Amino acid sequence: MADNPTKGLADVVAASTALSDIDGRAGRLFYRGYDIHELAGRTSFEETAHLLQVGTLPTRAQLAAYGAELVQGRTLGGLVAANVAEIAEKQAPMEALRTLVSLASADDPDKGSNSAEANHRKAARLTAQQPILVARYHAARTGGEPREPDPELSIAANFLLQITGRVPERRAVEIFDTCLVLHADHTMNASTFAARVCAATLSDMHSAIVAAIGTLKGPLHGGANEQVMRTLESIEPSGVAQAVRDRLVRGEKIMGFGHRVYKTEDPRATHLREMSRELGEASGDDTYYRMSKEMEEVVFAEKGLYPNVDFYAATVYHYLGIPTDLFTPVFSVSRMSGWTAHVIEQHADNRLIRPDSEYIGQSAQKWTPIDER
Ligand SMILES: CC(C)(COP(=O)(O)OP(=O)(O)OC[C@H]1O[C@@H](n2cnc3c(N)ncnc32)[C@H](O)[C@@H]1OP(=O)(O)O)[C@@H](O)C(=O)NCCC(=O)NCCS
């Protein structure tokens, strides 16, 4: 029996990783030693995925080769194509993605292997596939086929093209690409931990990703970005302060605020706030941005809490024309690069993850036959 368990495993070091690192007091985030402020706006999502999965920022030749792998990986298997319409009818977006990734594994040529080579190929395929799965799902529920992905376009540009049906403006693509970079990895967050626990049983990468998607879905994790938008939509622009205070008095959490690790501003929020401001102004109606700013001020004044990655991501995605219920799927599009990199890392130096628990139930129970209970 373990003594003094840490509720929620706060501050417990559960794994070693060379992928990302957080300095929660200074509000800094690093991917393989690169400060997120260095990468955001300068490095594409494809370069970032290569950095995480392969270990280095790619040269031009490496990026071309990885890009070709991604383009090939966009092809969906027969099981997904045959079932996506019914899934879109019956399942909400994150449930559907959980199902679709599982179905996609059936057609993956490397599904039977956990070798490093197979894992790298699967990581690229899953990263390429995830935005296509979201687009196929969205098209199916709105009664059609998505636009064909353009092999010349980046993951960010193709996603906006497929979801909005319009060729996106250059700046919109840059901003969305930066969002994908900002969400790519984040140490031992809940979904990554779930993926690593699954992988550590020597289960396969697709199974680990299905566990991660189910974990990201919850409103205390990736599901928060959707809830932020629903909150903004549900309150009057002039009633932000009152609405926040009312919720706090009722003991409710304000979605998009607080963090287990950051004790100051989340460095990703710094970029997202600025992009939300820019897109709000460019749209001609920055009401949601201004409401967000006020909400940030009130939550800080009342609770001393900072916005996390999900808070300003909500309005950024809104201004980019992404439907609200696809915000968490967008998170998964980016985090796929980190999850898969963690599975590669776990399999490369594996030990079963099996913590202990503190028993708090009854003891010295005496068994009685069923008719005497
Ligand atoms: C992220 C989160 C789950 C971290 O949780 P945690 O480390 O377990 O912290 P706790 O939930 O124990 O919160 C600690 C205290 O801060 C308060 N708090 C934390 N986040 C809060 C929020 N968003 N709104 C209001 N109060 C909050 C808690 O009520 C608690 O107060 P108490 O000590 O008076 O009971 C939590 O901040 C949260 O639920 N945030 C909203 C959901 C969200 O945005 N998730 C995305 C994370 S990237």
pTM of the model: 0.96
129 CA → ligand 1 middle, Å: 33
**62-95, pLDDT tens digit by residue?**
999 999 999 999 999 899 999 999 999 999 999 9
Q: Which of 186, 206, 259, 342 is catalytic?
A: 259
Question: Rounded CA gap, 325 and 287, in Å?
Answer: 20
CA 196 to ligand 1 center in whole angstroms:
24
What is the CATH number assigned to the segment(s) 20-169+178-218+329-348? 1.10.580.10
With a 6 Å cutoff on the Cβ, whether 361 touches ligand 1 is no
Fold of 224-319: Cytochrome p450-Terp; domain 2 (1.10.230)
Does pLDDT of 342 surpass 80? yes
pLDDT, tens digit (0-9, with 9 covering 90-100), for 241-261: 999 999 999 999 999 999 999
Residue 36's contacts (CB-CB under 8 Å, 6 or more residues apart) are 28, 29, 30, 181, 182, 267, 268
Question: Is 8 near ligand 1, meaning CB less than 6 Å away?
Answer: yes
* Residue 308 in contact with ligand 1 by CB distance below 6 A: yes
Alpha helix segments (H runs only) across the chain: 36-39, 45-54, 60-73, 78-90, 93-106, 116-141, 155-164, 170-182, 190-199, 205-216, 224-234, 240-249, 267-283, 287-303, 309-319, 327-348
- Joined together, the tokens standing for residue 282 give 């460019």
Mutation probe of ligand 1 site: the residue of 253, 266, 303, 309 with most atoms within 8 A of C-beta: 253
Please work out whether the CB of residue 253 comes within 6 Å of at least one atom of ligand 1: yes
What is the model's pLDDT at position 70?
97
Amino acid at 154: S
Q: Is the pLDDT of residue 211 over 80?
A: yes
Q: Where are the domains of the chain?
A: 20-169+178-218+329-348, 224-319
310 given a catalytic annotation: yes
| Ligand 1 neighbourhood includes 258 CB (under 6 angstroms) | yes
Q: Is 221 a catalytic residue?
A: no
Say how far apart CA 35 and CA 295 lie, in whole Å.
Answer: 28
Residue 209 CA, ligand 1 centroid: distance in Å: 26
pLDDT, tens only, 141-172: 998 788 889 999 999 999 999 999 999 999 99
